[in-house]
Amino acid sequence: MRREQKGVTIWLTGLSGSGKTTISSVVAEELKVLGYRVEVLDGDTVRHNLASELGFSKKDRDENIRRIGFVAHLLTRNDVIVIVAAISPYRALREEVRQRIVNFVEVFVNSPLEVCERRDLKGFYKKARAGLVKNFTGVDDPYEPPLNADIECKTDLESIIESSTKILARLSSLNYIDC
């Protein structure tokens, strides 16, 4: 059963390995079970399919986030719930995207760097520390945490279910969903 719904973008930002993709998957599945139309825009997947020519310079990262933001904007204005899971390291770019999308909820997926490094299944942090990967966020490129995120999920202290429930509760309190 499909529900009437209002479009919203839920933008999860945080370091690689903080839990953005895992949380976005859990939230998306719960929303689908409730009958909502949901699209997940995962940073790695979007980069592979929509921005594969881009590198990891600041200019290219900015362009990648603008592209993700544009797709999120289109979907949101067509009453889709969009969940973005992207490192999106620069505060100014996240704010630029927020200004474009009317219904926008920023989620800071906060986990200490050392915890993210322990969770790194692909070995990116190890490669970055060895100098094999350049401009890696948190190692030799900065991550600028949100100053006033709408939601903060501390994934070193709370479970994925607790983080996901926090997001769903906030969406409900803002009248984007009924649950």
Partners of residue 123 on adjacent β-strands: none
Sheet with strand 104-110: strands edge to edge: 38-42, 81-85, 8-13, 104-110, 151-154
**127-154 b/e (C-beta count within 10 Å ≥ 16 → b):** ebeeeebeebbbbebebeebeebbbbbb
Q: Collapse the DSSP code of 68 into the 3-class scheme (helix H, G, I; strand E, B; otherwise coil) and give the result.
A: helix
Determine whether 172 is an active site residue. no
Catalytic residue among 16, 18, 24, 88: 88
Q: How far apart are CA 133 and CA 31, in angstroms?
A: 36
Partners of residue 81 on adjacent β-strands: 8, 38
- Residues known to be catalytic: 88
